[in-house]
Amino acid sequence: MPEGDTIHRAAQTLHQALCGRTVTRFSSVFPHLTRIDDTTPLTGRTIERVDARGKHLLMWFSGDLVLRTHMRMHGSWHIYRPGERWQRPRHDMRIALETDAFHAIGFSIPIAAFTTSRELERTGPLQQIGPDILGDDFDADDAVARLRARPDVAIADALLDQTALAGIGNVYKCEVLFAAKVNPFASVAGVTDEQLRDLVATASRFLRANVAGRSVGHSQAQETDAIVTYTGLRRTTGRADPSARLWVYGRAGKPCRRCGTPISRRRQGPHARSTYWCERCQGGVRS
């Protein structure tokens, strides 16, 4: 699943390729999008910017029109030059936005809607999300307070709650908890304020490190056959070796990089997401 860093990198890439360009053609398999395009056409509008809030990607067009997309598990945006062959099959296309220089293609995107800046700020799903961990105005104290307000929830599940803080997915959940040496099955009530602050700070550091320097500008885009906005190997260990890029996620049965204890894995939470942890560094399973 795309996490906050992935969405922000995608927004950076789309922004640098599309910002300031005029839409020459728009198409979609979603009738609710094409109805809006029929009444207030996108063709001729300028793409003013592309940004992200949590796991929502926002494309802003002139005339106060905003396209909001959410990737869920399998969605992605690609950028191509006109006439280039897509890297995904055509039946996976959900949205196609064309300019003179680049085509932005949304594949397998499950959620997409047109809105206005007024609606975006006053109603809708963005009003329900917590502080965006990658936002310029991220409020760590607010994030800590929102986590603390969920005393009976396991800390691993609380970190995934986008209404507490936005941007953390299952990979970062596991990596952040390991780095902070916190048992993923402990309730929020059992986690100290210092630990909560450390978790939020670690999450911010990990996600920001995986966004910085990952965008693709016009000069880079012109040298690339096809720009896939979701690229690069996510790292939390700081190591250059691709096989050593994560601390615990996906490493069940392999030795802990700190102590050598085999990494454990267990399904957790209402959606039975996999949690990876070290029983020696973080503690055993708690009821």
Phi-psi domain of 202 (left: phi exceeds 0; alpha: psi -120 through 50; beta: other): alpha
pTM to 2 decimals?
0.80
pLDDT for residue 227: 41
pLDDT tens for the chain, residues 1 to 287: 567 788 888 999 999 999 999 999 999 999 999 999 999 999 999 999 999 988 899 999 999 999 999 988 789 999 999 999 999 999 999 999 999 999 999 999 999 999 998 888 887 778 788 999 988 889 999 999 999 999 999 999 999 999 999 989 899 999 999 999 999 999 999 999 999 999 999 999 998 888 865 444 333 333 333 344 444 567 898 887 888 899 999 999 999 999 999 999 999 988 899 999 999 999 866 54
The answer to whether 275 and 184 are in contact (CB under 8 A) is: yes
- Longest alpha-carbon distance in the chain: 62
- Domain ranges within the chain, ordered by starting residue: 4-127, 140-210+235-282
pLDDT for residue 71: 85
Domain at 140-210+235-282, CATH class:
mainly alpha
Asked: is 4-127 a CATH 3.20.190.10 domain? The reply is yes
pLDDT for residue 232: 55
Would you please indicate which residues are annotated as catalytic (active-site) residues? 2-3, 55
The answer to whether 27 and 96 are in contact (CB under 8 A) is: yes
- For residue 153 the two structure tokens come to 């929830």
